[in-house]
Amino acid sequence: MSKNKLLVVSLLVAVTMVVSATVSMAAPITIKFSHVVAENTPKGQMANKFKDLVAERLGGKVVVEVFPNSQLFGDNKVLEAMLLGDVHLAAPSLSQFNKYTKSLQIFDLPFLFEDMVAVEKFQQGPIGQKLLMSMKSKGLVGLGYLHNGMKQLSASDQLRVPEDASGKKFRIMSSDVLAAQFEAVDALPLKKPFSEVFTLLQTKAIDGQENTWSNIFSKKFYEVQPYITESNHGVLDYLVITSAEFWMDLPDDIRPVVKKALDEAIVFGNEVSEKKAIADRQKIIDSGRSKVITLSKDERKQWVEAMKPVWKKFEDEIGKEYIEAAVQSNM
């Protein structure tokens, strides 16, 4: 072999060694998953399940880091952070996307869905699936819906009829529909992050809030709210979201495995949500700290009549045909 050829071969060998060393040492892809609730909730458990499934199937290649309890970002900041690449997955409630799309406001309309079966039917139907992509032009992609459950009204006083809410301050998520819902009963809605709710209630800076049984239980709202009206007046579900850029940058052999793990984690989270809605309600009753108020048929009708005009107000922004399809999902 000539001197030159020998040099070329040695160089090639050296390059190959460096390349294979780099490949075998390649840092794993990190998926940061940020959320605001406790770990012992449907979302908390879903996120941890996703982390475990990814570790099992893609160990060494992909690592999921879960940040619960607003440790990393609150829902008011997480989407901006996602677009900047500082976090990769989140599952904000469907009420938190106002800035990016008006269509998802449909999920906040009071008394639209009769139960979680109707919610599931709508989400898995053609419109629900289309809504997953409603923020694509803004760089955000919905990967799936996750249930939490129906919302209840907690307060410092008994709420039996809409007049009982008049003049009272209620914390709401960042949603204009939810603001209109409370204004419809002459109450005062205040948009505040989830992480502040307990203190606001404890210090009596606000009178009440709306949330699911698992959130009321896991964040101890029931300890500082003597009454919970079992109103089931709306749904609190989540959109598991990522940035289009991050998602498309995942290697082609990795993305489907991550998606499958996520789909399975969502199925698991939905099972948790169903069980917790029953179990956490019972734990609250058993605690004796908060009285659960059951509405009579007539009382409930009054809430429906007071709040339902909100639909009309948002019909143009949301789309009449979407609302009609949601109503159909109750059939």
Rounded (10°) CA dihedral 201, 169, 316, 144: 10
| Residue from 123, 215, 273, 290 binding ligand LMR (CB under 6 A) | 215
In this structure, which amino acid lies at residue 128? G
Q: Which residues contact 227 (CB under 8 A, 6 or more apart)?
A: 154, 155, 156, 157, 158, 159, 290, 291, 293
Nearer CB in complex with ligand LMR: 37/185: 37
Nearer CB in complex with ligand LMR: 194/303: 194
Q: How far is the CB of 252 from ligand LMR (least distance, A)?
A: 32
Q: How far is the CB of 177 from ligand LMR (least distance, A)?
A: 14
Residue pair 297/97 in contact by the 8 Å Cβ criterion: no
Q: Which residues contact 200 (CB under 8 A, 6 or more apart)?
A: 171, 192, 206, 209
> Which ranges of the chain does DSSP label H, i.e. alpha helix?
3-25, 42-58, 78-83, 116-124, 126-131, 176-183, 197-202, 213-218, 244-249, 255-287, 297-307, 309-318, 320-328
Q: Rounded CA gap, 232 and 212, in Å?
A: 9
Nearer CB in complex with ligand LMR: 99/312: 99
- Contact status: 148 vs ligand LMR (CB under 6 A): yes
Here the tokens at position 277 are 């809605």
Nearer CB in complex with ligand LMR: 29/208: 208
Exposed (0-12), middle (13-18) or buried (19+): which is 279, by Cβ within 10 Å? middle
Q: How far is the CB of 57 from ligand LMR (least distance, A)?
A: 27
Q: Is 188 helix (H, G, I), strand (E, B) or coil?
A: strand
- Contact status: 152 vs ligand LMR (CB under 6 A): no
Count Cβ atoms below 10 Å from residue 12 Cβ, excluding itself. Answer: 10
Nearer CB in complex with ligand LMR: 194/311: 194
Nearer CB in complex with ligand LMR: 71/137: 71
| Residue from 173, 206, 235, 293 binding ligand LMR (CB under 6 A) | 173
Kindly identify the residues of this chain, within the stretch 86-145, that bind ligand LMR according to CB under 6 A: 93
Q: How far is the CB of 147 from ligand LMR (least distance, A)?
A: 11
- Contact status: 211 vs ligand LMR (CB under 6 A): yes
Read off the DSSP letter of residue 240.
E
Nearer CB in complex with ligand LMR: 131/161: 131
Query: What does the per-residue mask of binding to ligand LMR show for 12-41, with x meaning CB under 6 A?
Result: ------------------------xx----
Give the binding-site size for ligand LMR (rule: CB under 6 A). 9
Kindly identify the residues of this chain, within the stretch 57-86, that bind ligand LMR according to CB under 6 A: 75
Here the tokens at position 269 are 């989270």
Q: Is 318 helix (H, G, I), strand (E, B) or coil?
A: helix
Count Cβ atoms below 10 Å from residue 111 Cβ, excluding itself. Answer: 19
Kindly identify the residues of this chain, within the stretch 274-303, that bind ligand LMR according to CB under 6 A: none
- Contact status: 45 vs ligand LMR (CB under 6 A): no
Query: What does the per-residue mask of binding to ligand LMR show for 186-205, with x meaning CB under 6 A?
Result: --------x-----------
Nearer CB in complex with ligand LMR: 160/217: 217
Nearer CB in complex with ligand LMR: 44/162: 44
Kindly identify the residues of this chain, within the stretch 219-248, that bind ligand LMR according to CB under 6 A: none
- What residue ranges bind ligand LMR (CB under 6 A)? 36-37, 75, 93, 148, 173, 194, 211, 215
